[in-house]
Amino acid sequence: MLARFTQLMIVIGVLSALGVPSLVPSALGAQPPRSRSIIDGLVSDSNLVPLGEAVVSVLGSPLRVTTGDNGRFRIVAVPAGQYIVMVHRVGYAPMSAAIQIGTTDTLRFSFAMHRIATALDTVVVSAKRLAARMAEFEERRKLGFGTFITAEDIRQRNPVALGEVLRGIPSISVTGSGYNRQVVTSTRSSRCPMQVVIDGVLLPMPTDLASLVPPSEVAGIEVYAGPATSPVQYKAAGSACGVILIWTK
């Protein structure tokens, strides 16, 4: 056996010297690298001026990049699947796009963001925005409409995915479990899908909660099982079956 192995290695060496590709990986059963896709594009303001320091993230994954001074971004090694891409930048309204990507695709996007405030220091503004969100959260909770879930409630439940947080809430139903596809429907209207809003951005319907942020990154959740109690500013064409507001930390 040793003699055969030695002869094999001598043959491989001769073939390599002659420029013949080695067959050793195939002979040893090595698997080819798994294909991954690419998402790249440009982030600009409404006047098409490139925006640097915008954060582009793929919800439900650790993939996150920051645009350069030219507004360009590139996310590599994206596994095939369905995702929601979100874009945040201080002083601008967040944006999102639902995508479906194959095993060897290259998707290109252009996001034109609208200014909502004068840009200040990133840390200060982020803290103020979170405080403002949660202040509105508490104000609506005092009115007594809807169901409210805090970060402490989530911590105590220690859920695997967002859908687990919503189980047991009256008038809604969660299909799926764990990291499988999780869709929330209203039981008041023949189980139609509810509109999901994350940090003020309306997501495509039906929304897979398992593809969004992990529960540990959520600061609060508001659930309105019907249009009558939903906040006016978050009502849209698809909100007839109720609204779920998710606020991240």
In which domain, by residue range, is 142 found? 122-248
- C-alpha 38: how far from its chain's center? 16
Under the banding of pLDDT at 50, 70 and 90, the label for residue 6 is: low
Residue predicted with more confidence, 67 or 19: 67
Task: Verify that 127 and 208 share a domain, yes or no.
Answer: yes
Task: Verify that 131 and 222 share a domain, yes or no.
Answer: yes
Distance CA 16, CA 14 (A): 5
Query: Looking at the 3D structure of the chain, how many domains does it have?
Result: 2
pLDDT at residue 214 tops 90: no
Instruction: Please indicate, yes or no, whether the overall pTM of this predicted structure exceeds 0.75.
Output: no
Residue range 88-143, pLDDT digits in tens? 887 887 888 888 888 889 999 999 998 875 444 444 445 556 677 788 889 998 98
Task: Verify that 57 and 130 share a domain, yes or no.
Answer: no
pLDDT at residue 19 tops 90: no
**Phi, psi values for residue 49, rounded to 5°:** -85, 125
Does 30 reside within a domain?
A: no
Task: Verify that 83 and 144 share a domain, yes or no.
Answer: no
Q: Are the CB atoms for 5 and 13 separated by under 8 Å? A: no
